[in-house]
Structure formats: structure tokens, C-alpha cells
A = this chain, B = another copy of it.
Amino acid sequence: MSAALWWDMEDGRVKRPTLEDVAALAGVSRALVSIVIRDAPGASAQTRQRVLQAAAELGYRPDTRARLLARNRSRLLGVTFNVRHAFHADLLEGIYGTAELAGYEVVVSALTPSRDERNAVETLLDYRCEALILLGPEVTDQRLREFGRRVPAVVVGRRVREGLVDVIRTADGEGMRQAVEHLAALGHEEIVHVDGGRNRKSADRRQGYRVAMRRRGLGGRIRILPGGETEEAGVAAARRLLEGESLPTAVLAYNDDCAFGLLDMFGKADIAVPADISVVGFDDSRMSRLSPINLTTVGQDAREMARLAVQRAVARLAGHEVADREVVLTPHLIVRGTTQPRRRRRASPPRQ
């Protein structure tokens, strides 16, 4: 890395040493250099030494483009993620690590408002990625299956109807169960669920809530408010709650963002959390950990999900029969400061 490489202002190109250059300096053939660089068997220790030395001297680094093209297999894993989603950061971290161990490279493609899954995947496929890992994709099952028809695809964090893609996700129902159990154990009975709208994840969580309530003997108290995935949705839901004649003692939101909206509106309306009402979110997003918020929420194991996703993709590529297309991990409740035992409501001054 000591080589002083300069870029040529004339044509904007950088002249970098090639295998050939290294071979020349080491006085061997290109093939031999290739072998040494790839750390493949078939070169004497002595040659190895000399080649490595020459490479270092020139500051040689293999050209990924050429390598990718020449190699029969690209050994490339394409990953799409949403820059806005804090959870994806954790997943990416794990993916890079696991992929490296498995001998794969990772090429990521960011989703932005003007760059959806289709674009991102197309880009990835143009690089001839061998498999796709899609973090919390927002396209239809139909399209996901289309992706899966082209290369092995692993969807992380969301359910996909039957077939063609592997799925690594968290048991949403179980998460809701834990949340309901937690609240019920604290003495709450009027536990309202503000749902996430019309998507599948929302349906799963809604159903989980229903089942858990019934199982706790609170079937009669089931109350679901239409919500959404955003803070605004939470605000709107809180407003609706406040308009009703009686407030529940606990609210279980579809996700953290929605819960933030609830917290906000309750704060403005002079309802103390958790003294007057307990609030639980879902996702354990980074913000939920922020102490001014300190939200009790349901968390997922990012590292494990990442590990499994890569492992699936690789297994599939290796032709191994994968037993279950879908792996459902168990989430775990993280109790923070927005829940407490049910108690008499008391007046409390506004905060803002």
C-alpha cells in the first residue's frame, strides 16, 4: 500500500498495476501470480514469497471487474436495504461479516424515495449477483417471486406467500403475545391495539394481539384502532382515543414510529405515560432507546437474522436442499419506561 498512485488529470483515469506487471517484476507467469493472489494451491513457497513481494512493491490490487467477469461465478451477494431504516444498519453489519466468512462478496444497493426495489434489484442483477437478500422489501409478493425466479432470493423481515423465496422473519404474533402478557401481568385489561394498516405485517400483528387477548381471557376487551406505520398515524389514533369517553389503560402500537405519535399526542393532551397510560411499541428501533422516549418495545435479533439470511442464500447456491424456506425467529420484549402497573389515573401537569 506504499505505492504512490496518482490519477491522471488528462483523461480522468488511474493507471493501476495489473497481474501482468506483477508477473513481470516477479519474473513469473500471470497464471502463477493469479494463483498466489487468490491463495490457491499450486505454487511453491518461494514463488509465493517473490510474487507477494512484487505485488506489494507495486501496490497491486486485483481488478474486481475483471475478476468478476473471468470467474465462472461472481460470488456476489446483492443486498437491498432502506437507508431510512435503522434496523437495516444492524442487519447489514451482520451480512457483511457472515458473507465474508462464507467467501462471498457483498454489493449493496440503497433504496431511496426515487429508487425502489425494482431499480435496485435490476442494478444488482446487472452485476450478476448470484443471490439476493432483500431487507424489509415493500413490493408485492408477486414481484418478490419474480425476483426469486431469477436468482435465489432471501427476504428478511417480512412474510411472503408461498414459494420461490426464502424468508427470515420474526414471529410477529409471538411478539404481540409477549407485549400483551407483559401488560396483562401489570394488571392492564383495557389494552387497545393501534394497528398498522392494510399490509401483511400489520395483519399478523393484529391477529397476534387478538389471540393473545383471548388467551388471557381478555377477549371481550379486544379493541383495535386503525393506525398506520408512521408517527402521524399514531398521532391520529391518539386523537381518536382522546375523543372517546374513556381512555384505555394501555396501548399496544403496530410499531415504534406509531408509538412515538401516541406518546406525542398523549404528552400534549396532558396524559402522563406511563402513569396514566402504558404504551408499547414494536421493533426496538434506535429511537426507542433514546432516553427521552425510552419506549417499551419488542426487539428482534438482527445478527441472527443476518446470519441466517446469508446462510440460506449460500446454501441455496451450493445446491443444498434447504429444509424450510421460512425461518421464524422469536422476538423478545424489551421493557423500558413507558409501561407500569395499572393504577388510578391522576392529574399531571403538561410537560411542554
Contact = CB atoms under 8 A, between A and B. Distances in A.
Given A290-B260, A292-B260, A83 B73 contact: no
A288 to B, nearest CB: 10
Contact of A348 (B14, B74, B128, B349): B349
B10 A126 contact: no
A235 B113 contact: no
A122 B267 CA distance: 49
A69 B66 CA distance: 6
Contact of A287 (B68, B83, B287, B294): B287
Contacts of A5: 149-150
Contact of A64 (B62, B86, B127): B127
Given A86-B84, A150-B6, A112 B126 contact: no
Given A149-B4, A290-B293, A292-B263, A89 B84 contact: yes
A40 interface: no
A130 B287 contact: no
A96 interface: yes
B96 A149 contact: no
Contacts of A13: 72-73, 130
B69 A96 contact: no
A140 interface: no
Nearest to A290: B260
Contacts of A97: 114
Nearest to A86: B84
Interface residues of A, number: 76
A272 interface: yes
A264 interface: yes
Given A150-B14, A152-B7, A264 B291 contact: yes
Interface in A89-126: 89, 92-93, 96-97, 107-110, 112-115, 122-123, 125-126
A63 interface: yes
B64 A126 contact: yes
Contact of A69 (B65, B127, B261): B65
Interface of A: 4-7, 9-14, 16, 61-66, 68-69, 72-74, 81, 83-84, 86, 88-89, 92-93, 96-97, 107-110, 112-115, 122-123, 125-128, 130, 149-152, 231, 235, 260-261, 263-264, 267-268, 272, 286-287, 290-294, 316-319, 337, 348-349, 351-352
7 contacts: A7-B152, A11-B72, A13-B72, A64-B128, A84-B286, A96-B115, A272-B351
